[in-house]
Amino acid sequence: MTQFGTFDASYEAAGKEVGVRKLVDEFYRQMETLTEGQHIRAMHKEDLGTIKDKLALFLMGWLGGPRLYPDKYGSISIPQAHQHLVINEQERDAWLLCMKEALKVQDYSDDFKQYLIQQLAIPAERIRLSAKS
């Protein structure tokens, strides 16, 4: 059995581009809906169009799929991209909660949902450590 995290197994499990875009749409829908999401929603621009595209393209490459983000938006360091923001445990946990709720309604296996949220917690924590507090 192919392990998540090897080659493009995670990208496949996430439903490729269509699946990742669906996840990102739901993630921002959760951010706009959940009480815990209000504060981090306010850190974003009013229009979420570009950030949805950026997060989707970034995640596609991060999951082992095509690396489209750099072609369209240039090279990126995830901690650096968040350095101007105040991100403490509350903001990190709110981000992960929105993602967890978004994963609940995806047509993914429970194993993959659990794997993905654990993997996303790693950059989220790295961001917290290097962002403003």
Residue 34 interacting with ligand HEM (CB under 6 A): no
Residue found under tokens 């090279």: 75
Number of residues that bind ligand HEM (CB under 6 A): 23
Q: Which CB atom, from 21 or from 92, has the smaller least distance to ligand HEM? A: 92
Q: Tell me the residue type at 72.
A: K
Residue 123 interacting with ligand HEM (CB under 6 A): yes
Residue 78 interacting with ligand HEM (CB under 6 A): yes
Residue 27 interacting with ligand HEM (CB under 6 A): no
Span interacting with ligand HEM, options 14-22, 25-33, 105-113, 119-127, rule CB under 6 A: 119-127
Contact status, residue 26 vs residue 97, Cβ threshold 8 Å: no
- State the angle between helix axes of 89-104 and 110-130 in degrees (0 to 180), rounded to the nearest 10: 160
| DSSP label at residue 112 | H
Contact status, residue 21 vs residue 12, Cβ threshold 8 Å: no
Contact status, residue 113 vs residue 106, Cβ threshold 8 Å: yes
Q: Which residues bind ligand HEM (CB under 6 A)?
A: 40, 43-45, 51, 54-55, 58, 73, 76, 78, 81-82, 85, 87, 91-92, 95, 120, 123-124, 127-128
